[in-house]
Amino acid sequence: MKPIIETHELTKTYGNFTAVYRLNLHIRKGTVYGFLGPNGAGKSTTMKMFLGLVRPTVGTFTIDGMAYPRDRMEILRRTGSLIEEPSFYGNLTGRENLDLIRRILGLKPSAVDDALELTGLTRFGDRPAKKYSLGMKQRLGLAGALIGRPPLLILDEPTNGLDPVGIHEIRTLIRSLPEKIGCTVLVSSHLLPEIELMADDVGILNRGHLLFEGSMEELRETAAMKGLPSDNLEETFLALVDEDNRKRRPM
Ligand SMILES: Nc1ncnc2c1ncn2[C@@H]1O[C@H](COP(=O)(O)OP(=O)(O)OP(=O)(O)O)[C@@H](O)[C@H]1O
Ligand SMILES: [Mg+2]
């Protein structure tokens, strides 16, 4: 089956600085794909290119068979996203904020309750968004991203600011989404034990370069073959990044 996201030599440069270098990603339909990399590796830049927020310098990509830039609007219609801090109308309640999105997308009124329920916000639906805690805002952002049940969800560090219970809940939710609403999830995170529990595949980025892409099992095999630690994702990740940093000249 054709991947839901496929990139071809996707590259972003700022002046003479390369943020993302010749990426060839393959995100399989119906999976949770963990997008990993140290601070500044290029994860957000890549995700923003998928959403038309950053223009690629070189390269192309397809999402659900639609090609960028030709089908940009169609791509946006198929993609729910949570990038950095979600923003809302503070004086409106969580429910009212979601209702605005619902109207724009032309969905049934019941979609709001479904989205609140899915993200564990039912109890807080009638509180103004400006009174939400950080974790509640993340959840509301997630609710807004999935309300239209898009085939693809792009989540940039969705557990940012959540407490351990919240992290567990969001992980369980993300894990359940392919089955529950039939979507593919591209998720970036620095919480590697969480990614290990929820991702089918991972892509590891360092300084804009893709160091590895494949299933968790393939990652373990690759690490073992290279003589790197393969017991858990965190150790393998650190070893791969360290190995790559040694190969490259200082930044
Ligand atoms: N508008 C910009 N102009 C210049 N450089 C930029 C710009 N946006 C991003 N960068 C640089 O591109 C690199 C990649 O940034 P990006 O935000 O994609 O990293 P990231 O992997 O998401 O990191 P983090 O884990 O910290 O979120 C960084 O070095 C960043 O400083
Ligand atoms: Mg980022």
Q: Find the ligand nearest to 40 CA.
A: 1
pTM above 0.85, yes or no: yes
Contact yes or no for 147/112 (Cβ under 8 A)? yes
CATH code 3.40.50.300 region(s) in the chain: 28-54+70-78+154-251
Q: Give the pocket of ligand 1 (CB within 6 Å).
A: 14, 17, 19, 37, 39-45
Distance of CA 41 from the midpoint of ligand 1 (Å): 7
For the domain spanning 28-54+70-78+154-251, the CATH number is 3.40.50.300
What is the number of the ligand 1 atom nearest to the C-alpha of 14? 4
Each residue's pLDDT, cut to its tens digit, for the chain (251 residues) gives 889 999 999 999 999 999 999 999 999 999 999 999 999 999 999 999 999 999 999 999 999 999 999 999 999 999 999 997 788 999 999 999 999 999 999 999 999 999 999 998 999 999 999 999 888 898 999 999 999 999 999 999 998 878 898 899 889 989 999 998 899 999 999 999 999 999 999 999 999 999 999 999 999 999 999 999 999 999 999 999 999 999 986 65
Distance of CA 18 from the midpoint of ligand 1 (Å): 10
Contact yes or no for 175/32 (Cβ under 8 A)? yes
Distance of CA 106 from the midpoint of ligand 2 (Å): 31
